[in-house]
Amino acid sequence: MAKMNSTSIRPARPEDAEALANLATQLGYPSTVEQIRERLDMLQARPDEDAIIVAEIGGRVMGWVHAHTYKLLVEAPEVEIGGLVVDESMRGQGIGEELMQAAEAWALERGCASVYVRSNTIRTRAHEFYKRIGYEILKSQYALRKAIK
């Protein structure tokens, strides 16, 4: 499907929750509209730490990126990408790159000199996308989690 209108890159708004939830599901993270609303409220309460940026085309949210500050004792502060997704029908048209450019600009505004992104080993298309826009593979690692409830 061809891009019909220009892309507007802007901060997410509460009324975007349904579109954000649908896109999160496409990314492989099924979420309800209510879950997304609650998370969006929490993240937007910390504007110096988190940004949810959307790509809107023709009045429809067609993608989003979540950027957040990442601070460790052993490294300089940087911004990490918590998620990036473009609607399946619009992939390959530069929307993801526009969203990443917005996240990179947000990082620079916060004094960070780098942006870090993790990508599941099965997402080979995503790896090629990130490499094409200048990201380098640093390492392979396991991601481990323990539920503590």
| Domain parsing of the chain, residue ranges | 7-132
Average pLDDT over residues 119-146: 93
Distance CA 114, CA 129 (A): 17
Ramachandran area for residue 78 (φ above 0: left; ψ -120 to 50: alpha; else beta): beta
Specify the length of the chain in residues.
149
Q: What is the DSSP letter of 105?
A: H
Residue in this structure with the two tokens 């640093």, named with its chain if needed: 138
For the stretch 113-131, pLDDT in tens is 999 999 999 999 999 999 9
Q: How far is CA 134 from CA 97, 115, 116, 127, 137, in A?
A: 11, 11, 12, 11, 10
Of all helices (H) and strands (E), which one includes residue 86? strand 75-86
Q: Which CATH architecture has domain 7-132?
A: 3-Layer(aba) Sandwich (3.40)
For the stretch 50-78, pLDDT in tens is 999 999 999 999 999 999 999 999 999 99
- % of the chain surpassing 70 pLDDT: 97
Q: What is the DSSP letter of 78?
A: E
In DSSP notation, 12-60 reads --GGGHHHHHHHHHHHT----HHHHHHHHHHHHT-TTTEEEEEEEETTE
Kindly state the tokens that stand for 36. Answer: 């997304």
